[in-house]
Structure 1
Amino acid sequence: MEVSHFELVWKPQAPATPIGQTGIDKVFQGYFLEITNLESTAYSYAVEFVVAPGAPPERNLTGNTVVFVDTPGVNNAPGVLNGNAAGNVFAPSTGTITIQPGATALVAVLPSAFPAGPLDQTPLQGQNFEVRGYVRLRLPTVFRLVPRPNGGFTFRRVAQSATPVRVMLTPQNRAVYYAQNGTVSDQTQSSLPTASGMAVNAITPDQPFIFPTFPVDLDLSRLERMTALIPEEDQSLMLAGLLASIDTEAMDLTGMNAAMSQAGVGLAIEKRKVKA
């Protein structure tokens, strides 16, 4: 579900100094999202930041942000927003956020303007950063041990819930203003309207990946564009996860292998026995 707009800023408040003034303050603004799990079961949430693709460096999230995730169990777990500069979806490197029943998590995303360190070795050098977009919240599928039709058990991706999950959402902008001499001149904290117009929302859980019915034409150029959005170090893990998601009892492996052969893919998939 769409949560709200977001705006990250680290730049002067105006493009020029007004007549009769000696200077303008610089603003350092981050986005903060409180997520409360209103259900009686723990759920894992995925937060995504969606922007226009192909923006110039000073308007791009790639390498320009830091993330802190604060939950009742972990205090300010640090990370960055992962994504491809040519893409439009970015997610915290800390992964999904597991929130216990009735608990609240806080996600903070800030411009990367802190001293270089293990978290971010290339912070913003200038003060001309500004990115806007919107935030999306999902309930992704998870691996669970499920019974096999012929006996035993296997790991498979499943939806986290059979029904929509209730959450309370509070998005905010928090900003610090710096005067010309570098001192803090002011601070503001303002709540943002949610996309639904409500604080309490119901998220429809993602459903397991379902392979298409074969025969089907494989568009390799489209697959290449999609793969380019996935960090190289995550591609092998994603491939393993997709393969593990296949329902081998219902999957048309013959049709899939024929489609890959026709597309020039030099491999095939076969079913093998899995230990219970």
Structure 2
Amino acid sequence: MEISTFELLVKRIAPPPAPPTVARRVVQGYFLTISNLEDKEFLYTLDFHISLPTPPDPDRTLAGNAVVLVDVAGANQPLTLSPAGATVNTTRFSTSFRLGAKQTASLQLLPDLTPALLADPNPDLEVRGFVRLRLPAVFSNAGRPFPIFRRVPQSDSPVKVLLNPEIRGTFLPNNFPGGDGDFDQINYPLPLASGKSLNEIAPEPGGPIFIPTERIPQLVDQLPLRDRPTIDFAELEEEDRAAALVEVISQIEPSAANLQNVSDLLSKLDIPIAMELIRQ
């Protein structure tokens, strides 16, 4: 669901040729208070969709310019803003966090205030866009060996949340980072796209995750030996045997010799399936 717009700023309130003495710098961030009204923990994902200028500008993107924090009832905890390899052409950034039953969190998207940015007398960081909240499907095999690569919905019904987005800004003294630290602050609420604070998020449906067959050996090689999957075919349920066979057969090079070998193996297992190569 769409939540609101957002805008990040680190810039003078009046650009040149206005004199610096009357054009303080403002640092502005996006804050979202979210309450999980349900009786279980959920994993939430926030998507930040940004607008890009033409041509792209490194001061108009979240890539390398922003940090994300979450605070439930203690110190701020950093979150990951993905994709990790974002560039000036990236238009969507995401972060995920868990929120327990009946808990409330403060989620903050803030400018990354590096020493160089704070020392710049005329910074020009300005990023705006809109925010979406999702309830992503999560990995699960439901206690069965197959299918392995699958996501399932976190809930069978929409999940209730309370939302309150706002903008908060701090005006830096003209001589900052020197001087006596005389700061001024502002904050104002943002209108919610739904028009109400109480909202319901529909869970994403999930489904199978398709991995190219050429990637599977590489993924297995990266596993420690103790963690590599071993399946006793004889102990599998009939449904799981079928799923295992489909997984294995899908990785076979379709040559006449290979298919004949598979047919011979299936015959020994009393599985009435024969395979042959059909040329188009």
Cα offset, 1:145, TM superposition: 4.1
The amino acid across from 1:198 in the alignment is K
Asked which structure has the greater CA Rg, the reply is: 2
User: What percentage of residue pairs aligned between the two structures are identical?
Assistant: 37
Superposed CA deviations along residues 30-86 of structure 1, whole A, max 9, x for unmatched, are 1111110011111110111111357310101111111211124x6311245323222
8 Å Cα contact 1:211/1:251 also seen in 2: no
1:79–1:125 distance in 2 versus 1, CA, 3 Å: farther
Which residue matches 1:62?
63
Which of residues 150, 157, 162 in structure 2 aligns to 1:168?
A: 162
1:208 paired to 2:206: yes
8 Å Cα contact 1:14/1:24 also seen in 2: yes
1:104–1:3 distance in 2 versus 1, CA, 3 Å: same
8 Å Cα contact 1:13/1:26 also seen in 2: yes
* SS in structure 2 at match of 1:81: coil
C-alpha distance in 2 between matches for 1:252 and 1:52 = 44
1:198–1:38 distance in 2 versus 1, CA, 3 Å: same
C-alpha distance in 2 between matches for 1:145 and 1:27 = 49
1:91 paired to 2:85: no
Superposed counterparts of 1:117-266, under 5 Å: 126=120, 127-146=123-142, 148=144, 156-182=150-176, 183-210=181-208, 249=243
C-alpha distance in 1 between matches for 2:244 and 2:206 = 14
8 Å Cα contact 1:113/1:125 also seen in 2: no
Which residue matches 1:39?
38
The amino acid across from 1:133 in the alignment is G
C-alpha distance in 2 between matches for 1:256 and 1:32 = 48
Which residue matches 1:104?
104
Which residue matches 1:229?
none
C-alpha distance in 2 between matches for 1:124 and 1:14 = 17
* SS in structure 1 at match of 2:203: coil
1:165–1:23 distance in 2 versus 1, CA, 3 Å: same
Normalising to structure 2: TM-score of the pair? Answer: 0.65
Which residue matches 2:213?
none
8 Å Cα contact 1:27/1:178 also seen in 2: yes
1:41–1:14 distance in 2 versus 1, CA, 3 Å: same
Normalising to structure 1: TM-score of the pair? Answer: 0.66
8 Å Cα contact 2:146/2:244 also seen in 1: no
Aligned-residue Cα RMSD (Å) equals 3.6
Superposed CA deviations along residues 193-250 of structure 1, whole A, max 9, x for unmatched, are 11111101100111113579xxxxxxxxxxxxxxxxxxxxxxx7xxx9xxxxxx9849
C-alpha distance in 2 between matches for 1:123 and 1:67 = 18
1:171–1:75 distance in 2 versus 1, CA, 3 Å: same
Superposed counterparts of 1:42-53, under 5 Å: 42-53=41-52
* SS in structure 2 at match of 1:140: coil
Equivalences, count: 217
1:154–1:12 distance in 2 versus 1, CA, 3 Å: same
- Structure 2: which 5+ runs fail to align? 211-218, 224-239, 255-280
8 Å Cα contact 2:34/2:106 also seen in 1: yes
The amino acid across from 1:36 in the alignment is S
8 Å Cα contact 1:24/1:179 also seen in 2: no
